[in-house]
């Protein structure tokens, strides 16, 4: 379980282990774009403002992954208790 803050939207949501991050984000941002939802198309790429993403995609480079500044929220989760996204 971790918290996700959507900074521009101004809400903080809780992501339980049985939910995907993108599903929870959609509760606050219904028009969020996605396509594959399997971590390979790049449509759901989202800027990370704070926290440490737990990457599960197959599209980011090792360098991007390490930077922790961007993530695919359809499959990604969080290693930190709180993740802050630019949404």
Between 10 and 63, name the residue whose CB sits nearer to ligand FES.
63
Q: Given the rule CB under 6 A, which residues bind ligand FES?
A: 34-37, 39-44, 57, 72, 74
Instruction: Name every residue whose Cβ is closer than 8 Å to that of residue 76 and which is 6 or more positions away in sequence.
Output: 21, 39, 53, 54, 55, 56, 57
Task: For the CB of residue 26, give the shortest distance to ligand FES in the complex, in Å.
Answer: 12
Task: For the CB of residue 45, give the shortest distance to ligand FES in the complex, in Å.
Answer: 7
Between 10 and 86, name the residue whose CB sits nearer to ligand FES.
86
Supply φ then ψ for residue 32, to 5 degrees. Answer: -55, 135
**Cα(85)–Cα(41) distance, rounded to whole angstroms?**
19
């Amino acid at each position: 379980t971790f918290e996700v803050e959507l900074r521009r939207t101004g809400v903080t949501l809780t992501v339980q282990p049985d939910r995907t991050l993108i599903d929870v984000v959609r509760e606050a941002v219904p028009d969020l774009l996605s396509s594959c939802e399997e971590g390979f198309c790049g449509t759901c790429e989202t800027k990370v403002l704070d926290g440490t993403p737990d990457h599960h995609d197959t599209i980011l480079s090792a360098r991007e992954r390490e930077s922790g500044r961007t993530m695919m929220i359809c499959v990604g989760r969080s290693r930190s208790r709180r993740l802050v996204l630019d949404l």
